[in-house]
C-alpha cells in the first residue's frame, strides 16, 4: 500500500468536497432553503475531513523506523477522530440556522432548479463514496472507511433535505424546511459520534472484531491434534495493521529447533488468515505451572 495510492483517494475526496460544496451553495442561494444550507455546511466538513485524511494517510503509509517500530498506522485514527468532531460542530451550526428559520419562516424560491443542482451534488458524493468504500476494503484503511461512510451519510442527508423542500413546495408549510434541517443535524451527530467512538477504540488498542478472533481460535485449535495448546491470545489493530500475540505450549522434551519450526508454521498460518498482521509467539512447556501462572496475562487470558 503506497502513500501515492492513498493520496490519490484523498485527493479524490477533496475534489468531491469542493464540487459538492459549490453545487449545494448554489442550490441554497437559488432556493433560500435552510435545509439546503445545512447540506452545504456539511460539505465544508467533508472538505476539512478530506484534507485531514490526506495528511494522516501519508503519515500512516510510512514504514516502521527506529522511533516507531510498529509503524505509523494509528495516525489514521487521528484523522477519523478529527472528522467525527468536525461533523458534530457542523451539526450544531445547522441546528442554530434551523431554529432561527423555524422561528422566522420564509418561503422557498426556484425549487425545481435548486433541487436539480442538489441532486447532481448528491450523485457526485455517492459515486466517490462507493469508490472510497471499495478502496477501504482493499487497503484495510480506517480513514477511507470513515470518509466513505461520511459521504454516504451525506447522500442520505441530501435525500432527506430534498424531500423536505418538495413537501414545502407542495404544502406551502414553510416550517417543514427547518424541521427537516433539525432532523439532518441529529443524523449528522449520530454519524460523528460513531466515527469518534471507532477512532477512540483504535487508539485504546481494542481487540480485533469477535469474528476475526474466532477465526484465529479455529486456526489455533486445529493444532490440538498435535498435542499443542495455546493461551494468552491477545489482539489489537493499528490502522490497517493487525497485531496478534499468543503463547504456545508444547511438550517439555521438544528441541529448540522443533519448537521454532512449529512457531514458524503458526505465524505463517496467521499471516495468511488475517493479512496484514504482525504475529508474536512465545514458546512454553506443557505441564509447567509457571507457564499458566502469569498475572500480567490474566486479563486477556484465553485457556
Same domain, 118 and 176: yes
Q: Which residue has the higher pLDDT, 259 or 81?
A: 259
What are the two backbone dihedrals, phi and then psi, of residue 274, each rounded to the nearest 5 degrees? -135, 65
Q: Between 175 and 14, where is the model more confident?
A: 14
Query: 182 and 94, same structural domain?
Result: yes
CB-based contact 195:149 (threshold 8 Å): yes
Winning range, highest mean pLDDT, from 51-55, 190-194, 205-209? 205-209
Same domain? For 149 and 47 the reply is yes
Confidence of residue 82 (pLDDT cuts 50, 70, 90): confident
How many structural domains compose the chain? 2
Of the residues 172, 203, 234, the one at which a domain ends: 203
Residues 147 and 197 in one domain: yes
Q: Are residues 97 and 191 in the same domain?
A: yes
Distance CA 163, CA 168 (A): 9
Query: In terms of domains, do 141 and 232 share one?
Result: no
Domain carrying residue 175: 3-203
Q: Residue 219 is placed in which grid cell?
A: 486456526
> Are residues 73 and 217 in contact, defined by beta-carbon separation less than 8 angstroms?
no
If you average pLDDT over residues 36-56, what whole number do you get?
Answer: 76
- For residue 303, pLDDT over 50 is answered with no
- Statement to judge: residues 91 and 167 lie in one domain: yes
In the predicted model, what is the mean pLDDT of the chain? Answer: 80
Same domain, 199 and 100: yes
- Residue 62 clears pLDDT 50, i.e. is over it: yes
Q: Are residues 194 and 55 in the same domain?
A: yes
Can you give the CATH number for the domain in which 222 is found?
3.30.70.1350
The domain that holds 109 is classified in CATH as 1.20.1510.10
C-beta of residue 205 within 8 angstroms of C-beta of residue 211 = no
Domain termination residue (choose one: 185, 203, 221)? 203
d(CA 247, CA 47): 46
Q: Same domain for 104 and 7? A: yes
Q: At residue 1, does pLDDT exceed 60? A: no
Would you say 147 and 54 are in contact if contact means Cβ atoms under 8 Å apart?
no
Q: Please, which pLDDT band fits residue 145 given cuts at 50, 70 and 90?
A: confident
C-alpha cell at 55: 495528511
pLDDT of amino acid 34: 67
Q: Which three cell numbers stand for residue 13?
A: 475526496
Q: Provide mean pLDDT across the span 16-22.
A: 86
Q: Record the cell numbers describing residue 222, joined without a space.
A: 486445529
Cis bond before residue 17 (omega within 30° of 0):
no
- Looking at the structure, do residues 11 and 141 belong to the same domain, yes or no? yes
214-224 per-position pLDDT tens digit: 999 999 999 98
Residues near 211 by Cβ (< 8 Å), separated by ≥ 6?
Answer: none
pLDDT in tens, 148-187: 877 877 787 777 767 777 777 778 787 777 787 788 778 7
- The answer on 105 and 33 residing in a single domain is yes
Q: Do residues 116 and 23 lie in contact, with contact meaning Cβ atoms separated by under 8 Å?
A: no
> What's the pLDDT at 108?
60
Last-in-domain residue among 171, 188, 203 = 203
Amino acid at each position: 500500500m503506497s502513500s501515492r495510492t492513498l493520496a490519490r483517494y484523498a485527493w479524490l475526496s477533496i475534489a468531491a468536497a469542493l464540487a459538492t460544496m459549490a453545487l449545494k451553495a448554489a442550490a441554497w442561494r437559488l432556493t433560500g432553503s435552510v435545509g439546503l444550507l445545512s447540506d452545504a455546511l456539511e460539505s465544508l466538513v467533508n472538505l476539512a475531513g478530506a484534507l485531514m485524511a490526506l495528511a494522516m494517510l501519508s503519515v500512516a503509509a510510512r514504514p516502521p523506523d527506529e522511533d516507531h517500530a510498529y509503524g505509523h498506522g494509528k495516525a489514521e485514527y487521528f484523522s477519523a477522530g478529527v472528522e467525527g468532531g468536525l461533523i458534530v460542530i457542523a451539526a450544531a451550526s445547522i441546528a442554530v440556522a434551523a431554529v432561527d428559520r423555524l422561528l422566522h419562516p420564509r418561503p422557498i424560491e426556484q425549487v425545481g432548479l435548486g433541487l436539480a443542482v442538489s441532486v447532481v451534488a448528491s450523485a457526485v458524493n455517492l459515486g466517490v463514496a462507493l469508490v472510497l468504500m471499495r478502496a477501504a476494503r482493499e487497503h484495510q484503511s480506517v480513514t477511507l472507511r470513515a470518509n466513505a461512510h461520511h459521504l454516504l451519510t451525506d447522500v442520505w442527508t441530501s435525500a432527506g433535505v430534498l424531500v423536505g423542500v418538495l413537501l414545502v413546495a407542495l404544502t406551502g408549510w414553510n416550517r417543514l424546511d427547518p424541521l427537516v434541517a433539525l432532523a439532518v443535524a441529529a443524523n449528522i451527530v449520530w454519524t460523528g459520534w460513531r466515527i469518534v467512538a471507532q477512532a477512540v477504540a483504535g487508539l485504546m488498542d481494542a481487540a480485533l472484531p469477535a469474528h476475526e478472533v474466532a477465526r484465529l481460535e479455529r486456526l489455533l485449535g486445529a493444532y490440538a491434534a498435535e498435542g499443542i495448546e495455546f493461551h494468552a491470545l491477545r489482539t489489537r489493530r493499528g490502522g490497517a495493521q493487525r497485531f496478534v500475540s499468543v503463547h504456545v505450549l508444547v511438550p517439555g522434551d521438544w528441541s529448540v529447533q522443533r519448537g521454532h519450526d512449529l512457531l514458524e508454521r503458526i505465524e505463517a498460518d496467521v499471516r495468511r488468515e488475517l493479512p496484514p498482521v504482525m504475529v508474536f509467539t512465545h514458546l512454553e512447556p506443557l505441564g509447567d505451572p509457571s507457564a499458566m501462572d502469569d498475572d500480567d496475562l490474566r486479563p486477556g487470558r484465553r485457556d
